[in-house]
Amino acid sequence: MKTSTVAIVSAGTIITGILAYAVYFDHKRQTDPEFRRSLKRNNRRLARAVKEEAEAQGAQHRENIKMAVQQAKDEGFPTDLEEKEAYFMGQVAKGEGLCAEGADKLEAALAFYKALKVYPQPKDLISIYDKTVPKEVLEILAEMVAQDQTLKLGTFTGESGSADHHGVE
C-alpha cells in the first residue's frame, strides 16, 4: 500500500470515530437525565471556579495598586517649584510613553498619579487625563486617587461638567 492511501484511510477512520463520539454524546445528552444533570453540575462548578479566580485576581490587582501608591508616598515628592515642574513633566512623559508602548498599565497609571501629586490644580489635570489617557490606565489611576486621602481634589466627582450643578440648562 502507498503511504498516501494509508494516510487517507487513517484520517477517514479518525474522522469517523470523532463523528460517532459526537453522535453518541448528543444522544446521551438528550436521553439520559442523570448525564444532563452531571453536565449542568460541571458547568456550574466551572463557572464558580472562574468567578472565584476573577475575584482573587481583582483583589490582587487592588493590593498591587495600594502597594504602588504607598511606595510612591514613601519615596516622597519634590517641594521646590522648579523641581515640581521638572518632576511633573518627567512623569507625564513617562506615563505617555508607557501608554504608547502598551506596556504595564499599572506603571503608566503610577506615573500619571505622581504627576498629579505635584500639580497645583489636580482637578484640572484629571479632566485633561480624562480626555487623553487610555480608559484602562484611567481606571487604575482612579483607584490610586481613591487610595490617597491626602490628594486635594475639591468636589471632583468624575463627571464632566453636568448642567444641573451649575444652574444652567
- How far is residue 26's CA from residue 139's CA, in Å, rounded to a whole number? 45
Confidence at residue 104, expressed as pLDDT on a 0 to 100 scale = 84
The one-letter amino acid at 90 = G
Distance of CA 39 to the CA centre of its chain: 31
126 Cβ contact list (under 8 Å, min separation 6): 116, 145, 153, 156
**Looking at the predicted structure, is the pLDDT value of residue 168 above 70?**
no
Average pLDDT over the chain reads 84
User: If you average pLDDT over residues 73-96, what whole number do you get?
Assistant: 89
Q: What is the pTM of this model?
A: 0.61
Q: How far is CA 69 from CA 36, 106, 112, 151, 160, in A?
A: 49, 10, 11, 12, 25
Alpha-carbon torsion, ordered 96, 102, 106, 111, to 10 deg: -10
- In which band, very low, low, confident or very high, does the pLDDT at 162 lie, cut at 50, 70 and 90? very low
